[in-house]
Chains A and B, each alone.
Chain A
């Protein structure tokens, strides 16, 4: 890592912050990023800015995108902790799209894993320079000084100098080569329950989201897309829409032939959003629906099931499954399915874009600001760096705002009308013409000996992959997308993974937790089914499955998985489950994803077909936690999202188009179904790993197992209770 002092540069003026004082930028060595698989480009990238003004006010920039996961509190708090800054004096600002922040594409639960260490080093460097400055003033050695809460203190005479007083002097100090990081026992903020920096704005309605941007002369747009992927505009009659008072333009949006690009559509521009929304309904449009008009998810899912219940394409293999099956005492098979999911963040897709002759400025809720720069740069034939992207707070995202098709559309409208444009997708467009988590089927066959050891495991998965966005002709999910199956921590000597045919007929875009949603469900549920068959309890059986793994490289992971499962089980009352009233049961599941280990114990009451989730004990090992409250909140939220997808949410296609349209027929979980969630986070000194996504995976299998324990009924299809639409 290298850190450069850029106090004398005046570029921060443009960011609207006070100048003067100390400004530090932090650069990660690119090979460190490359090693982590984060970045492939060469060159130096800056990742963080600390601006300490002469009055002591401190601004810490967050380069990663905020969508509610709390990253813009967590990362700056790590800087502040090492810097010995007083958090009350710190203001957090979201960085615009800029390669100086390093990778800003925010997904894969990677932010803290990748940025924790560099952020701490940035803070420690600033502290070392402030101490050096004080030592110079006092004509003493830096060793004779220490920093505490925005002051440097002289150990000999207890004199104090404030960070504000020292800022300009520190700016002239040499940069510490290897800043010393704090001991865990000295942390002020790391691992503590620091409130989010912005919650005071949220509760008074002053937090500005992508949908809230206002500019002088702003025009408002609404859009309609072809309901079937790959369809195109056949005819357009604008007359009635143009008659609506307040409508100024109707713009045809071309298709962007790139993976995350707009599929094209027709937009109405008006004086306000409501007028635009009314007028869009008056467009008379005929679509050529194209070849995906044959897509019906009911039949497609049946086809996926058929494709996994017969031999499929080999993805990976070890030992000899067929031989193991032949000599097996017990053989058991099951098929699991899941439907398409819509991310449905509360804030629909929204942005403001203003394309002018010499500039293009974007205000967007986004998870991928650099991609906006790249795509709009290509579209407008300008340099990506000339596309200014202000990263707005996203009102939820869950993977949807990684794909910024809605921003491309606003740019086209602005370019064609010359006005700054706010485009907000209606909830119906969001639900019907978005990206969808894969519909999927998995079939597992396993053999067991008389001691309940699993001797063979055949795992077939079929789902249209996100890779189809890059290569639409793909017939099935590529081998590497079965990696979580091949590398699963369960120990099975004879193993084979196969990929079943699954062409895509819509745009696939991962939902929070990605593959772990369906792999976690199949592994976690099937293990419980095997346990029942073997006559063992689920906890002992799963532990035995882990213990049977001879792979030396996975032993540490196995220990952590078993330990976290034990926590969830112990906290839930698993060991006293025989005393539960009739109709109640506890189910367990543990899943490793995004390099974290999450276990859940779900306690349900089942009456007939009615499933009531009473308690959820959720335990996570994600290494060192940066913000304990934020981590807890992520787990609580993951339970709720897991509940929605386990019980009720599914996107249905008929004749190529999505049938669902809004929250009445895409019934996400509401407060009336909220169980009592207890989050358990054992202290850990391991490196921090993923938090945003891994909590979603274990809920559905733990629920299936709990319902089975309570009632003997086994649910193998997500969602358990689909709404007829």
Chain B
């Protein structure tokens, strides 16, 4: 029987070895390259995507565990790149090399979905699995706080 998962609202058949981590299914099979490889061991967060709205590390999540699940990648976070976090990222000029930022944004989106008004410490705790070697942490913190603020005004 064919198995599939929903990625950014579209059904994709899982036609690879079930042990393949989602990261490589996305990158090499479907060519969604927005999700990045950083460590391969769930240590850096560059590969963060959402499974049913929750942030996971796609580099250590086999596709066999994702049958019928809803996956959201950075490409599908918003239709026009206008998620409050994406807007806050632009406004605070967060990216340097930008390589880790998809993972940072996806992780932050998962945080804001469950905690609309995180404290500074809650932001740090939630984001500690996401490494940025360029050192954009200060702006990441500011952007998340700003996006939370925007969301609270919209609510």
Q: Give residues in A with beta carbon < 8 Å to B.
A: 67-70, 193, 195-196, 198-200, 202-209, 211-212, 214, 220, 245, 271-275, 277, 344-348, 393-398, 424, 426-428, 629, 633, 636-641, 662-664, 668-672, 674, 676-677
Contact = CB atoms under 8 A, between A and B. Distances in A.
B96 A346 contact: no
Given A344-B133, A395-B97, A203 B36 contact: no
6 contacts: A203-B74, A274-B21, A396-B133, A398-B133, A640-B132, A663-B44
Given A69-B96, A346-B97, A669-B135, A205 B38 contact: no
Contact of A671 (B38, B44, B128, B134): B128
A637 B101 CA distance: 14
A204 B96 contact: no
B117 interface: no
Contacts of B40: 277, 426-428, 662
Given A637-B136, A640-B137, A672 B125 contact: yes
B51 interface: no
Contacts of A672: 124-125, 128
A199 B135 contact: no
A196 B75 CA distance: 20
Given A670-B128, A671-B141, A674-B137, A273 B24 contact: yes
A551 B41 CA distance: 54
A662 B135 contact: no
Nearest to A198: B98
Contact of B33 (A214, A271, A274): A214
Interface residues of B, number: 59
A251 B43 CA distance: 30
Nearest to A677: B138
Contact of B134 (A198, A427, A428, A637): A637
Give 6 closest A-B pairs by Cβ, nearest first.
A205-B34, A68-B97, A640-B135, A395-B99, A637-B135, A205-B74
A432 to B, nearest CB: 13
B71 interface: no
B6 interface: no
A398 B32 CA distance: 27
Residue from the set A196, A203, A641 with the largest chain B CB neighbour count within 10 Å: A203
B93 interface: yes
Contacts of A397: 97
Contacts of A427: 38-41
B145 interface: no
A663 to B, nearest CB: 4
Contacts of A67: 97
B100 interface: yes
A427 B131 CA distance: 14
A224 B141 CA distance: 38
Contacts of A428: 40
Interface of B: 16-17, 20-21, 23-24, 27-29, 31-41, 43-44, 46, 73-75, 77, 81, 86, 89-90, 93-102, 105, 123-125, 127-128, 130-141
Given A272-B24, A346-B132, A664 B41 contact: yes
A652 B98 CA distance: 29
Contacts of B21: 274
B90 A199 contact: yes
Contact of B36 (A198, A275, A395): A395
A245 B133 contact: no
Contacts of B95: 68, 196, 198-199, 202-203
Contacts of B128: 670-672
B93 A195 contact: yes
A347 B36 contact: yes
Given A637-B96, A662-B41, A674-B141, A668 B34 contact: no
Nearest to A244: B17
B131 A664 contact: no
Residue from the set A273, A629, A638, A669 with the largest chain B CB neighbour count within 10 Å: A273
B102 to A, nearest CB: 5
A427 B139 CA distance: 26
A205 B33 contact: yes
A214 B74 contact: no
A469 to B, nearest CB: 24
A662 B43 contact: yes
Contacts of A641: 133, 135
Contact of B101 (A203, A212, A393): A203
A212 B31 CA distance: 9
Contact of B100 (A196, A204, A273, A346): A346
A1 B133 CA distance: 38
Nearest to B101: A202
B99 A671 contact: no
A348 to B, nearest CB: 7
A589 to B, nearest CB: 18
Contacts of A671: 123-124, 127-128, 130, 132, 137, 140-141
Contacts of A629: 93
Contact of A674 (B20, B81, B89, B124): B124
A87 B24 CA distance: 37
A214 B35 contact: no
A273 B28 contact: yes
Given A663-B44, A674-B141, 15 more contacts: A202-B98, A205-B75, A211-B37, A272-B29, A346-B38, A346-B99, A347-B36, A393-B97, A395-B36, A397-B97, A427-B40, A633-B136, A662-B39, A662-B40, A674-B137
